[in-house]
Structure 1
Amino acid sequence: MARPKILVVGAGFAGVGCVRRLERTLAPDEADLCLVTPFSYQLYLPLLPQVASGILTPQSVAVSLRRSQRFRTRIIPGGAIGVDAKAKVCVIRKITGDIVYERYDRIVLAPGSITRTFDIPGLAEHARGMKTLAEAAFIRDHVISQLDLADASQDEAERVSRLQFVVVGGGYAGTETAACLQRLTTNAIKRYPRLDPGLIKWHLIDIAPKLMPELGEKLGRSAQKILADRGVEISLGVSIAKAGPQEVTFTDGRVVPTRTLIWTAGVVASPLVATLEAETVKGRLAVGADMAVPGADGVFALGDAAAVPDLAKGEDGAFCPPTAQHAMRQGRTVADNVLASLRGQPLTPYKHKDLGLVVDLGGKDAVSKPLGVELRGLPAQAVARGYHWSALRTNVAKTRVLTNWLLNAVAGDDFVRTGFLARTPSSLRDFEYTDAYLSPEQVREHTASLSAARAD
């Protein structure tokens, strides 16, 4: 008899956590394991702001999947663009553009999320995101290029617009991005004697009334004070009304001349979710506490793409937030449940204990809340970086990150532009690929043609 096939979609924290667990627990001949991902690495997303600011090199946060000694998973280089749960077929567009069809017995959907945007004029064309390695590398080059161009310009208005930067989103990604890049420009301006340091201005805005409310009142205020003391202008209860190539308009009527708009205002589940025609909760797949999708045989979902009940809160309608901490743990639980389903054993509900929150603001600045203990300054920085360092999956990645941190602490920032992406389109619209996914009807058409071809 043919071995059952387990197909895992996505190589983020959830997908890789699942694959690693399955590789350790599956017997050699028990099942075939496949992973669908455009890249053969796991991106350590929480450290992207440090890549954008040059503290870390890009390869240090791209953890190779093939370095594991146990690695025996077949990687399909591409992205899933549709799933037919009845036919048990996943439609995949490979990085070459070719369409392939993968049958499965069990499928684990961990496609992650895309940047949440709104119908704001000019946003998709002029804003940059912060969810991929390419975006982080581009933003670094872009920010440094603004300093170079401002230094070369004789036009005062152009200098002003190039030296103002706007970050939208007061969550972890936006706050850390603004903090790290503001520190970079503050240090870099010392190398530009013709530029007035007073012209550099960073704006951090969010429609919410508080900065990082998950941290609590005291730590949230501490983070806000750290940034304000550095000169970051924080505007809460404010968003973007309109974006253009040289200015943005805030919803409170202010017009800020800028060439840099970084959008980190939350995420939504991958469009792959909509191809299943399954029940959703605020765009995320509705799943049980065991992360099985009701009514879809052999389908499991987790991470940013799934609304996983939060049993730790004991409340009806409470779901786990889309964080790396949950994704890693859910990956292990789903792997156990996939294996249990193959062996005819009962499935286990996902339960967790919150380990706390860490926010690295660059340099000696940080706020952390490990296991409910509030920390600031160097102790918080040690906890934040210690947590991130320990979460990296290979010794090579740990060595690279630690070396980068030590080098930055000793030698300071460097301000080199690589120029690799200088002529590459780099807006939100260019990186999200939301038009690549099939509609449910198209998925059925693809799988029907596949069945007809096989019958012939």
Structure 2
Amino acid sequence: MYTALRLQRTLAPEIKRGTAEVVVVTPDPYMTYKPFLPEAAAGSISPRHVVVPLRRVLDRCRVVVGEAHSVDHTKRTATISTLATAEEGAGTTALTYDELVLAPGSVSRTLPVPGLAEHGIGFRTVEEAIGLRNHVIEQMDIASSTRDPAIRDAALTFVFVGGGYAGVEALGELEDMARYTARYYRNITPDDMKWVLVEASDRILPEVDAAMGAYTLSALRRRGVDVRLRTRLDSCADRVATLSDGTRFPTRTLVWTAGVKPHPLLTATDLPLTDNGRLRCTAHLTVEGAPHAWGAGDAAAVPDLTAPGTDTAPNAQHALRQARVLGDNIAATLHQRPLTPYEYRCTSSVASLGLHKGVAQVRGREFKGYPAWLMHRLYHLSRVPTANRKARVLAEWTLAGLFKREIVSLGSLEHPRAEFELAAGKDHPDDPKGST
């Protein structure tokens, strides 16, 4: 989205004359600002304000809602499918191009853990974030109404696998939300709930330095979170999380945030890939040995000029900045100007651990608690695209500070036709034959 946004600005005269066209192929008609997913899951932000509608932002681009299946760069052709091709029975269609920007991002990296596919919950999309929020509140409803202690214990046990940003922030926000929600249940207290964080390495939040990671670890443990380091999830079959240290947790909630891997679309191209499956790119964001092909973001292995011999980390800080350089370099190519190498040193890291709690590392200085939480919000408010979204997010934060949290679970959003299907599937009591 940011690359297309940059291009529609730099190529505005060409687009107006009709000599250039920017086409964006995407499976969703919106861009998700993923740093806000934990707050959306906790109810601090409306899900509508975590996403940016592409047709509004990219008003001078052609947005094609569809899925790319393969790319044949030697023929400058991408094979895509859309809702229209499905209706027409064509299946797929070919889309030709002059310059290719391949930025499909990443997907969750899963392991062959028994029961994971059946019971695991991801945390990479706004749908998963809202679904997880609904699920947590529903588990509290189950625990409040059941008389079976085993079901109650499993419903109130929440296991998160992965101690990076996604896992720590999701757990911190949801634990905070559930702790607040417990006050509205007569027979549930915060001490009845078990929150478990499983991490295979010897520390959490590897994105910040060791001291801040240690502070985060102690802060979570003071809140009663059971953090298991150097521990793996061996199985979650039959809704029992079995860890490598032999511990077993009967649980109805297992959230998987144990890393990402490049999008599988990359393997359906004729472009060079690294050993870990990312696009092999240069510092100018061109794909090595493939003229007119470009890459950025999680899917691209871009040399880190600030640390020779390494690639830039697959995170939002690099992706957003790479997009701007990429857009400018494509325009420079079309105008026969020299390209600019991408170079950026990450100097800041911020993470939220729940309402008024956080950690931050800004230009070598460390902040904890409320100041770090405030920096987290201000930083991401400045980065979320469009003034419209900034204003709406700020208004929601303001209202959340003045009024009580929302504790409603809208599980029916995931199956909106369930009630109608139930009604339509039964005969009307006054019409034994069943009218249509």
Scaled by the length of structure 2, the TM-score of the pair is 0.90
Q: Which secondary structure does the structure 1 equivalent of 2:354 belong to?
A: coil
Indicate the residue corresponding to 1:187 in structure 2: 180
Please state if 1:38 is matched with 2:31. Answer: no
CA contact (8 A) 1:226 1:365 kept: no
Once the two structures are superposed, residues 264-289 of structure 1 have per-residue CA deviations (whole angstroms, 9 ceiling, x without a partner) of 01100101111123332211111111
- Counterpart Cα distance in 1 of 2:400 and 2:334: 49
Give the letter aligned to residue 125 of structure 2.
T
Counterparts of residues 1-40 of structure 1 (less than 5 Å): 16-26=1-11, 27=13, 28-29=16-17, 30-40=19-29
Give the letter aligned to residue 218 of structure 1.
A
- Note the C-alpha offset of 1:243: 1.1
Indicate the residue corresponding to 2:217 in structure 1: 224
Q: 1:249 aligns with which of 242, 259, 271?
A: 242
Please state if 1:304 is matched with 2:308. Answer: no
Please state if 1:402 is matched with 2:390. Answer: no
Please state if 1:319 is matched with 2:311. Answer: yes
Indicate the residue corresponding to 1:239 in structure 2: 232
- Note the C-alpha offset of 1:404: 1.8
- Note the C-alpha offset of 1:348: 1.8
Once the two structures are superposed, residues 301-359 of structure 1 have per-residue CA deviations (whole angstroms, 9 ceiling, x without a partner) of 1100010100011x22x011111111011001111111122223322211113241110
- Counterpart Cα distance in 2 of 1:225 and 1:55: 25
Give the percent of matched residue pairs that are identical in Structure 1 and Structure 2.
38
Once the two structures are superposed, residues 40-95 of structure 1 have per-residue CA deviations (whole angstroms, 9 ceiling, x without a partner) of 22110011011111111100111122334x72100000121111011110111214
- Counterpart Cα distance in 1 of 2:346 and 2:114: 39
Question: Does the C-alpha gap of structure 1 residues 95 and 261 become closer, same or farther in structure 2, counting only changes over 3 Å?
Answer: farther
Q: Which secondary structure does the structure 2 equivalent of 1:357 belong to?
A: strand
Counterparts of residues 94-133 of structure 1 (less than 5 Å): 94-95=82-83, 97=86, 98-133=91-126
Indicate the residue corresponding to 2:80 in structure 1: 92
- Counterpart Cα distance in 2 of 1:166 and 1:412: 27
Give the letter aligned to residue 60 of structure 2.
R
Give the letter aligned to residue 305 of structure 1.
A
Indicate the residue corresponding to 1:267 in structure 2: 260
Please state if 1:284 is matched with 2:278. Answer: yes
CA contact (8 A) 1:308 1:319 kept: yes
- Note the C-alpha offset of 1:245: 4.3
Equivalences, count? 406
- Counterpart Cα distance in 1 of 2:69 and 2:156: 40
Q: Considering only CA atoms, is the larger Rg found in Structure 1 or Structure 2?
A: 2
CA contact (8 A) 1:245 1:259 kept: no
Q: Which secondary structure does the structure 2 equivalent of 1:213 belong to?
A: coil
CA contact (8 A) 2:155 2:252 kept: yes
- Counterpart Cα distance in 2 of 1:31 and 1:197: 58
- Counterpart Cα distance in 2 of 1:373 and 1:110: 33
CA contact (8 A) 1:67 1:394 kept: no
Scaled by the length of structure 1, the TM-score of the pair is 0.86
Indicate the residue corresponding to 1:362 in structure 2: 354
Indicate the residue corresponding to 1:427 in structure 2: none
CA contact (8 A) 2:73 2:270 kept: no
- Counterpart Cα distance in 1 of 2:104 and 2:75: 20
Indicate the residue corresponding to 1:295 in structure 2: 289
Relative contact order (C-alpha < 8 Å, sep 6+): which is higher? Answer: 1
Give the letter aligned to residue 277 of structure 2.
G
Task: List structure 1 segments (4+ residues) > 4 angstroms apart after TM superposition.
Answer: 421-424
Indicate the residue corresponding to 1:197 in structure 2: 190
Indicate the residue corresponding to 2:40 in structure 1: 51
- Counterpart Cα distance in 1 of 2:194 and 2:405: 19
CA contact (8 A) 1:19 1:335 kept: yes
Counterparts of residues 416-455 of structure 1 (less than 5 Å): 416-423=408-415
- Counterpart Cα distance in 1 of 2:232 and 2:83: 36
Alignment root-mean-square deviation, CA = 1.5
Give the letter aligned to residue 405 of structure 1.
W
Q: Which secondary structure does the structure 2 equivalent of 1:194 belong to?
A: coil
Please state if 1:80 is matched with 2:68. Answer: yes
CA contact (8 A) 1:38 1:95 kept: no
- Counterpart Cα distance in 2 of 1:214 and 1:39: 29
- Note the C-alpha offset of 1:196: 4.4
- Counterpart Cα distance in 1 of 2:260 and 2:130: 20
- Note the C-alpha offset of 1:222: 1.3
CA contact (8 A) 1:365 1:376 kept: yes
- Note the C-alpha offset of 1:423: 4.5
Q: 1:372 aligns with which of 348, 353, 364?
A: 364
Once the two structures are superposed, residues 195-229 of structure 1 have per-residue CA deviations (whole angstroms, 9 ceiling, x without a partner) of 24322011011101111122112111111122111
Indicate the residue corresponding to 1:71 in structure 2: 59
CA contact (8 A) 1:42 1:64 kept: yes
Moved more, 285-294 or 170-179: 285-294
Give the letter aligned to residue 295 of structure 1.
G
Indicate the residue corresponding to 1:442 in structure 2: none
Q: Which secondary structure does the structure 2 equivalent of 1:328 belong to?
A: helix
Question: Does the C-alpha gap of structure 1 residues 326 and 229 become closer, same or farther in structure 2, counting only changes over 3 Å?
Answer: same
Once the two structures are superposed, residues 396-423 of structure 1 have per-residue CA deviations (whole angstroms, 9 ceiling, x without a partner) of 2112211222222222322101123454
